[in-house]
Structure 1
Amino acid sequence: MSDWVRETLHRDYAQSLRVDEMLYDSETSHQRLKVFLNGTFGRVLTLDDVVQTTEGDNFIYHEMLTHVPILAHGAARRVLIVGGGDGGMAREVLRHNSVEHVTMVEIDAGVVEFSKQYLPMLSAGAFDDPRLNLVIDDGAAFMRNTSEKFDVIIVDSTDPIGPGEVLFTDTFYGHAKRALTERGILVTQNGVPFMQGGELTNTMRAFKALFTDWTCYLATIPTYAGGPMAFGWGTDGDAGQVTVEELEARFAAAGIETDYYTPAVHKGAFALPAYVARLMP
């Protein structure tokens, strides 16, 4: 299987993707980066052979981590993205003309540079948008030290191994809460609950202690194998009670087209299967 990349993130389960052509394979000071062509998913980015994003299905992940909190908030002007070096998250946030400023904190400058070259369709010009402030820094250190306030904070982290591990701690979430505005919303990538249940439970335990409104919502992303992915949600505002009618009005006013997100999907994503609900503390 030399023409396949095998992902072994989980102990008892693995997925493989065919490599039609290897476009990039190099080690940075933080991790090993690969970009290759796959017949179904187009260009695929892996870090240490774990799939991070693909040309084919990235829209699901990026739409659900951006449009859900931004449209639920209704008046988000300042957004912080932690991670997201491929630029896909910034791309979706910046589609909202109402967003005035985006700070993106990425630990690895190498990810940004090679994404511009090998995955330009993911950022789609986001790095050239004057509203974007790209900061190369450790996300945990930035969150600890920042005095800025944000309406929405999106944690677009890798899995809780290696450089991404510190982004799943109670301390990090506490610093994120401090950096939110009064009605601000924190959303996080929390893995596939069927395979990574402990990861979700630990995050939700921290959110329960920090926020009056805490839960998770789900989306199914083909290359994040093992079932639907969970996204953490925490706020002290009332954004979780927004009606589908209000979401429809905000979505129409935003004037954006999506391939996964709809107001009905937004509301339905918070309906948790029993096995996921049992992972909540």
Structure 2
Amino acid sequence: MTDWSTETLHADYAQSLKVGTLIYDSETEHQRLRVFENGTFGRVLTLDGVVQVTEGDNFIYHEMMAHVPIIAHGAARRVLIIGGGDGGMAREVLKHRDVTHVTMVEIDAGVVEFSKEYLPGISAGAFDDPRLELVIADGADFIRQTAGGYDVIIVDSTDPIGPGEVLFSDTFYGHAKRALTDDGILVTQNGVPFMQGEELTNTMRAFRALFTDATCYLATIPTYAGGPMAFGWGTDGPARSTPPEVLRGRFEATGITTAYYTPEVHAAAFALPGYVSKLIP
């Protein structure tokens, strides 16, 4: 019989990926880690049965969470990543030569070590970059205690269950805003709105109370099934109104090569379908 990994995150919907070779299967103090080969997506990492990252399509998620806020900001020097233990977000952030310091806070050291060994292509050497400070700690505790001063904060969290649940609270978002510079930008992973509408609504309600500019933007990632994924966006600065030609100039100046992100996709990602707009209070 063929082995399939079936994700049951949603009550009425499931997706399955064929397991070609099971490479790793173990439990840490916090969660169950599993890696397997899939013919289309390459190596796949699941946490408690839920797909977190794949070699095949991770570039979409990581490029859109990293490059949209950094290029929109235009002068980001200090970036905070909450989560992101596979190193993919750090990989994309560190492509920006003008970023001088990246703090990455991951609750589970086992995820980091595991990813280095079994998914090295995801981080692509990011953990060896001297600009990266890796902190093993609870993200909510860190954000409450940090002195802040971050131009961009990226919350690369799991879904709001288990250890990741606290990263979706109003209190967490309030502490994150305090840790931003005046024109700083907070971006968050907010799931697939068609399947997880309440998650987006709750985050947007908190963002609207905190930020002058609060919305979300979208990207379609095959293994995050059920429609496009939403990324929360909150800032008191003018970054979202950056003209397309300025975005293009900034992007070309970076010299970065991307497989999904373009300045045109960046601008279009904020154009929301009606059903998503209705989820934003």
TM range (shorter): over 0.9
- 1:119 corresponds in structure 2 to 119
Q: Which amino acid aligns with 2:269?
A: A
Summarize the alignment of residues 1-281 of structure 1 with structure 2, pairs less than 5 Å apart.
Answer: 3-281=3-281
1: CA distance, partners of 2:181 / 2:148: 9
1: CA distance, partners of 2:22 / 2:106: 24
1: CA distance, partners of 2:46 / 2:214: 31
CA shift digits 1:4-26 (9 cap, x unpaired)? 10000000000000000011100
Structure 1 unaligned segments of length 5 or more: list them. none
DSSP 3-state at the match of 1:40: coil
Q: Which amino acid aligns with 2:174?
A: G
1: CA distance, partners of 2:226 / 2:50: 14
Whether the 8 Å CA contact 2:218–2:269 is kept in 1: the answer is yes
Q: Which amino acid aligns with 1:28?
A: T
1: CA distance, partners of 2:162 / 2:2: 26
Query: Deviation at 1:148?
Result: 2.6
DSSP 3-state at the match of 2:181: strand
DSSP 3-state at the match of 1:191: coil
Q: Which amino acid aligns with 1:116?
A: K
Whether the 8 Å CA contact 2:2–2:18 is kept in 1: the answer is no
CA shift digits 1:82-122 (9 cap, x unpaired)? 00000000000000000000000000000000000000000
2: CA distance, partners of 1:90 / 1:149: 18
1: CA distance, partners of 2:33 / 2:119: 12
Q: Which amino acid aligns with 2:218?
A: L
DSSP 3-state at the match of 1:246: helix
Structure 2 unaligned segments of length 5 or more: list them. none
Whether the 8 Å CA contact 2:183–2:236 is kept in 1: the answer is yes
Query: Deviation at 1:2?
Result: 5.7
DSSP 3-state at the match of 1:266: helix
CA shift digits 1:17-75 (9 cap, x unpaired)? 00000111000000000000000000000000100000000000000000000000000
1: CA distance, partners of 2:144 / 2:133: 18
2: CA distance, partners of 1:204 / 1:114: 33
2: CA distance, partners of 1:64 / 1:25: 29
2: CA distance, partners of 1:268 / 1:188: 18
Query: Deviation at 1:149?
Result: 1.2
Query: Deviation at 1:266?
Result: 0.2
2: CA distance, partners of 1:280 / 1:114: 37
Structure 1 runs, 4 residues or longer, greater than 6 Å off: none
CA shift digits 1:123-154 (9 cap, x unpaired)? 00000000000000000000011113100000
CA shift digits 1:164-203 (9 cap, x unpaired)? 0000000000000000001100000000000000000000
TM-score by length of 1: 0.99
